[in-house]
Chain A
Amino acid sequence: MSKRIDVKDLNVYYGDFLAVEDVSINIEAKSVTAFIGPSGCGKSTFLRTLNRMHEVIPGARVEGEVLLDGDNLYGPGVDPVTVRSQIGMVFQRPNPFPTMSIRDNVLAGVKLNNKKISKGEADVLVERSLKGANLWNEVKDRLEKPGSGLSGGQQQRLCIARAIAVEPQVILMDEPCSALDPISTLAIEDLINELKDQYTVVIVTHNMQQAARVSDKTAFFNIAGTGKPGKLIEYGDTHTIFSNPVQKSTEDYVSGRFG
């Protein structure tokens, strides 16, 4: 239930503006891959091309290939809706549906895929997903209450439960802890460690300690200057990137000399 992603020579454009240039990267299945880099370096943009969420912005387009176990996400006839149901996403700010209960939030994606699901099956799925997101014990007595009544960290774990309820191949996380306090952050990081047993996880983070703590591999993105495209500078084992990087700019960044 997890697939690898191989990106070949990917360019991302917003209209005529080249936002990310020539990225090639191989993301292993059942591992955690972190994208780090200064603000505006295109790491979030790149992440969103992995499930075609960048297409929400008018004028956004890509050149190149993104292969999910060999299948090109941008091949002819590929529906972005199908892509997104296979590659889930967790956002920077927790975004449970405010009009739905906790239970309905978890089931939101499942009900979309036209699955007629019985109440019993739904109960099992809700419990499994919430347990998978380490949230079950905190919410099991108030599943019918609105999701917006939870704390920020709980809301973010609810969003993760919602994402894993559809059993995706890959989970993308776009700075999932940047709006959370340290304790909630720790809870999410523990969760990410557990998720990689079953899923391929890709996480964008501004927090280098976080990347060092949770990821197996790390990719460093950078830009030459404002208006220039973002590029993948270096990609390797997290240990290597943080202790013995090849590129000078990677070393400068991870040692806190800029960015």
Chain B
Amino acid sequence: MTATSLTSTQGAGRAGDKVFSGATLAAGCLILAVLFGVALFLVVQAIPALTAPADKIQGGQGFFAYIWPIVIGTLIAAVIALVIATPIAIGVALFISHFAPRRLASGLGYVVDLLAAIPSVVYGAWGAAFLAKQISPAYGWLAANMGWLPIFGGPASTTGKTILTAGIVLAIMVLPIITSLSREIFLQTPKLHEEAALALGATRWEMIKMAVLPFARPGIISAIMLGLGRALGETMAVALVLSSGALTASLIQSGNQTIAAEIALNFPEASGLKVSTLIAAGLVLFVITLAVNMIARWVITRHKEFSGAN
């Protein structure tokens, strides 16, 4: 072998490498550019609303007074959705990954994935036309028996079109996201760790507590955050289900509003400063979602040492 055989590299492989690395770089940059573009658009368009005199904004008391009730409303709806969906989703995912016989597991997984394929407007219509009516007697019961809790304060809505109903519909919508991600994570639990737990005399449930859930913890948090992202941004279902109004503590009266639904309901007829106000509301939603994701990342990295990645 002479030295030339090492230096005279034949071109084909290298050109392919360059094209490929260029393509991936471009794709990565495109994401950043789009994100930046959206943020820039939101900020620029929102400035008139943020700087306008208070009495020009809807409600007449400035942008902050306008936005904070619907921020709270958005968070309430999202939290209700997650509180309902998370335990169910983890339960279903565990059943599919560790308890169900194989044939049932794949069928059930498929059905759960199908839930994600239903358009949100269908969920909204179902929630408004069916669920709200069916559930309103339960609200009456809650108001009568647990009315001393502010969140169940009466009088209950007779139409059932409340933030709680909206939250339940959202829960059903985020359920498949959390379920399918959790299921994938649970299935990736190393056999070695499951066997370690079983060999110590763990029952199936103890094995899950010992080996599966700790291993899956970061993945479950990511799954919940993705679900939260959907719950925060979901528009159609909330717009159809919720009979919106001013911020109220009671979850079983009509009232409250979410940012996404507020924008969707008002945007078509808005003009001038009103458009700008709605875009500023969108900016706030964008910031909330960003903050939620960053908190989630922080929670995950805080436990990196014990994650099993090393």
Contact = CB atoms under 8 A, between A and B. Distances in A.
Contacts of A82: 201
A109 interface: yes
Contacts of A109: 200-202
A153 B203 CA distance: 28
A85 to B, nearest CB: 3
A113 B199 CA distance: 13
B308 A51 contact: no
Contact of B193 (A85, A97, A112): A97
B214 interface: yes
B198 A91 contact: no
A15 interface: no
Nearest to B203: A81
Contacts of A34: none
Nearest to A105: B196
Contacts of A149: 305, 310
A101 B306 CA distance: 8
Interface string A45-74: 000000101001010000000000000000
B201 A84 contact: yes
Interface in B186-210: 190, 192-203, 206, 210
Interface in A208-252: none
A38 to B, nearest CB: 24
B307 interface: yes
Interface residues of B, number: 26
Contacts, number: 85
A113 B214 contact: no
A98 B195 contact: no
Given A97-B211, A109-B201, A91 B196 contact: yes
Interface in B79-109: 102
Contacts of A89: 195, 199
Contacts of B192: 91, 93, 95
Given A101-B306, A163-B199, 6 more contacts: A81-B202, A88-B200, A96-B196, A99-B217, A113-B201, A148-B310
27 contacts: A51-B199, A53-B195, A56-B194, A56-B195, A81-B202, A82-B201, A84-B200, A84-B202, A85-B201, A86-B201, A91-B192, A91-B195, A95-B192, A96-B196, A97-B197, A97-B211, A98-B214, A99-B308, A100-B214, A109-B202, A112-B201, A112-B210, A146-B305, A146-B306, A162-B196, A163-B200, A166-B200
Interchain residue pairs A-B with the least CB separation, the first 3: A85-B201, A98-B308, A99-B214
